[in-house]
Amino acid sequence: MLQIAVVQQPPVYLDLKASMARAVELVAEAAARGARLLVFPEAWLPGYPTFVWRLAPGAGMRKVDALFALTQANSVDLGRGRLRPLQEAAREHEIVVVVGYQELDGAISGSTLFNSCAIIDADGRILNNYRKLMPTNPERMIWGFGDGSGLNVVETAVGRIGALICWESYMPLARFALYAQNLDIYVAPTWDSGDTWMATMQHIAREGGCWVIGCATTLEEADIPPSLPYRDELFPTAGEWINPGDAVVYEPFGGAVAGPMRKEKGLLVAGIDVSAAHASRRKFDASGHYARPDVFQLSVDRQPRSAISLN
């Protein structure tokens, strides 16, 4: 059995340096508990911009501008090696890390942010970096649109892993694009929680015949720093659970084997048999014997897209 761990600890909200230090500590803690795979939620570095759901459209634009600037200043520029501490921790502890983070496009615009997810192998290499294709509703005030270049399932030290972010798990064609790449473990870093999201995670475990790991950032009002602009307006309720977390692990074609972990902080640890994914697809293989390619075909453009070509 493979031990895995799911992070249900908040970052140091919108503080990249402190959040990165906390992430490195969590890698060490997970490894000490025997985990060989560690999963972080959506935009965990440096924290999901939940403020976009709490400000009135139009009237709150100046406030969004100030909060965006803080988020931007604490986002990760891969081109400058800003994930390196986490990569080094993965290599030191020989653990695969899947991490959701806010990515700064430093190569071209130097300004646009993406909701990204990196898969770091146990040797510290980034095997895949995926930018969320479709930010949801007010998230589009913060994040740009990704392209298909990261829509990959990659071979890691613990099996073949792919990821979609939050409500992209409702996109059937995006899911199929992962199923068709011999998927073992489907990771769904998210901000969602609750019974409806649990039903979606279980559906994917059955539809894809894969292990499914769902996780949102558990966050309380007390985790929001006093220095955050407009804090009292955004988070007026003392003791509020802003997000309960609901970290969960579903088995292929079956039910939950761990979680949901609700309104708790820590690591959700579970043992999984990676080989069970392939075996479960005897009954239903969405991209295999149930695919009917004579009737249905999907074309996926995985070319990276850029606004400029500098020759």
Q: Give, as one character, the DSSP assignment of residue 157.
A: T
Q: What is the C-alpha separation between 82 and 75, in angstroms, rounded?
A: 9
Per-residue model confidence (pLDDT) at position 300? 94
Task: Report the candidate in 178, 169, 177 with the shortest Cα–Cα distance to residue 204.
Answer: 169
Contact (Cβ atoms closer than 8 angstroms) between residue 25 and residue 266: no
pLDDT of residue 310: 78
In Å, how far are 110, 176, 209, 286, 291 from 296, measured between CA atoms? Answer: 40, 12, 20, 11, 7
The dihedrals phi and psi of 277, each to the nearest 5 degrees, come to: -65, -50
pLDDT reported for residue 77: 97
The three-state secondary structure class of 232 is helix
CATH architecture of 2-280: 4-Layer Sandwich (3.60)
Of 244, 248, 245, nearest to 259 (Cα)? 248
Helix (H/G/I), strand (E/B), else coil: 62: helix
Q: Mind telling me the catalytic residues?
A: 42, 132, 166
DSSP 92-118: HHT-EEEEEEEEE-TTTTS--EEEEEE
Q: Which residues of 70-80 are buried (b: 16+ CB within 10 A; e: fewer)?
A: bbeebbbebee
pLDDT score recorded for residue 59: 63
Task: Please report, as a single letter, which amino acid is at residue 289.
Answer: H
pLDDT tens sequence for the chain (311 residues): 999 999 999 999 999 999 999 999 999 999 999 999 999 999 999 999 999 999 877 666 788 899 999 999 999 999 999 999 999 999 999 999 999 999 999 988 999 999 999 999 999 999 999 999 999 999 999 999 999 999 999 999 999 999 999 999 999 999 999 999 999 999 999 999 999 999 999 999 999 999 999 999 999 999 999 999 999 999 999 999 999 999 999 999 999 999 999 999 999 999 999 999 999 999 999 999 999 999 999 999 999 988 888 77
Does a cis peptide bond (omega within 30 degrees of 0) precede residue 304?
no
Domain residue spans of the chain = 2-280
